[in-house]
Amino acid sequence: MQSNEAFLAYESVRHRLPATSKIGECRYLLNLEDLVDEIDVFFLDAFGVLNIGDSAINGVPERISKLQSIGKKILIVSNAGGFPHELLMKKYKNLGYNFASEDVITSRKALLKGLTNLPSKKYGLMATKSLGRADLENIDVTYLSENMTEYDNSEAFLLLGSAVWTEVRQEMLLDSLRRNSRPIYVGNPDIIAPREEGFSVEPGSFAHRIADSTGISPEFFGKPFKNIFDLAFKRLGDYNPERTVMVGDSLHTDILGGQTAGLKTALISGHGFFSGQNVDGPIASSGIVPDFILKDP
């Protein structure tokens, strides 16, 4: 999938996303350091801000470390659904970042928190088995593969990671759901994620396709939905929303989500989703207008 295609895919599911609540000022700045006078707390997206795939974005580990050293509060707010938390922390460390485990707020955490409020069920799981079951030890999950009974015996479905998901599995899930409708919980609402070579298709894409063809309304955990920001606010304690910014490369998840949560927003224009493109057109046509546009994180 290319970014213009991904943009249109997000536009086509706007009825399932929060409505826009604010029009930002769209001030063009160079990078995060230009915000130090007016911002105390930075919520950072990961893919497209900290890293592209498995590489840190040039100069960003140093810049973040500088912000931390002058007392700025940095929280990661990421739609990372598929990675066990400990593995994710190792990944950030290897990329050159230094964050406390509790300051990394993920859609996986938001989903697991959400499940604790529901009666326990047998879940069919979309996830990569080789990453292990850490964080999920207390949940009854069956990895979904090519065996139809795995689908038919599930009481609900968790969509966490789609790296090994296939069209065959998607068809089996759809077939099972058409015969017996059940709840879908999505631990990563993203449609795509930027990788070194193009974009990968993420669980949100499969969830929206299920919704389109079955009429089931999946429950989404992560940006742009409020549940992940509520976890971040809980971690933060007292904060001033006027001096807190959500920084990310996606209009439909980071900027829309930040605005829904009542925060300032900054779109990264030079990396990730809109890398190599002009952002003015997408901002105008989506009506999702950030407060700041930063060339680099």
Residues binding Mg ion (CB under 5 A): 45, 47-48, 249
Residues 6+ apart with CB under 8 A from 89: 99, 101, 104
Measured CA to CA, the distance from residue 189 to residue 221 in angstroms comes to 7
Q: Measured from the CB atom, is 45 or 296 closer to Mg ion?
A: 45
Which residue, 202 or 249, is less far from Mg ion as judged by CB? 249
Quote the least distance from Cβ 63 to Mg ion, whole Å.
17
Sign of the C-alpha dihedral computed for residues 202, 53, 257 and 141 taken in this order: positive
- Cα–Cα distance, 157 to 111 (Å, whole number): 12
- Cβ-based neighbours of 226, under 8 Å, separated by 6 or more: 18, 257, 260, 261
Sorted by sequence, the CB contacts under 8 Å of residue 297 that are 6+ apart come out as 31, 32, 44, 49, 50, 57, 60, 63, 247, 268, 271
Peptide bond into 224 cis (omega under 30): yes
Q: How far is the CB of 286 from Mg ion (least distance, A)?
A: 16
The least CB distance from residue 104 to Mg ion, in Å, is 15
CB neighbour list of residue 192: distance below 8 Å, 6 or more residues apart = 1, 3, 6, 9, 199, 200, 201, 202, 205, 273
Instruction: Give the nearer residue to Mg ion in terms of CB position, either 184 or 255.
Output: 255
CB of 122 to Mg ion, least distance (A): 33
Q: Which is nearer to Mg ion, 4 or 147 (CB)?
A: 4
Closer residue to Mg ion (CB): 124 or 161: 161
Residue 249 C-beta: closest distance to Mg ion, Å: 4
> What tokens appear for 46 in the block?
């990961």
**For Mg ion, which residue has the nearest CB?**
48
Residue number, 48 or 282, with CB nearest to Mg ion:
48
Please name the residue that has the structure tokens 């994620």: 193
CB of 46 to Mg ion, least distance (A): 7
Residue 249 phi, psi (nearest 5): -100, 0
Bridge-partner residues for 95, per DSSP? none
Whole-angstrom Cα distance, residue 59 to residue 49?
11
When the beta carbons of 47 and 99 are compared against Mg ion, the nearer one is 47
Please, what is the minimum distance in Å from the beta carbon of residue 97 to Mg ion? 15
The strand order across the sheet containing 27-29 reads 27-29, 292-294, 264-268, 244-248, 41-44, 73-78, 104-106
Tokens of 295: 């060339």
- Least distance from C-beta 51 to Mg ion, angstroms? 9
Q: Which is nearer to Mg ion, 124 or 204 (CB)?
A: 204
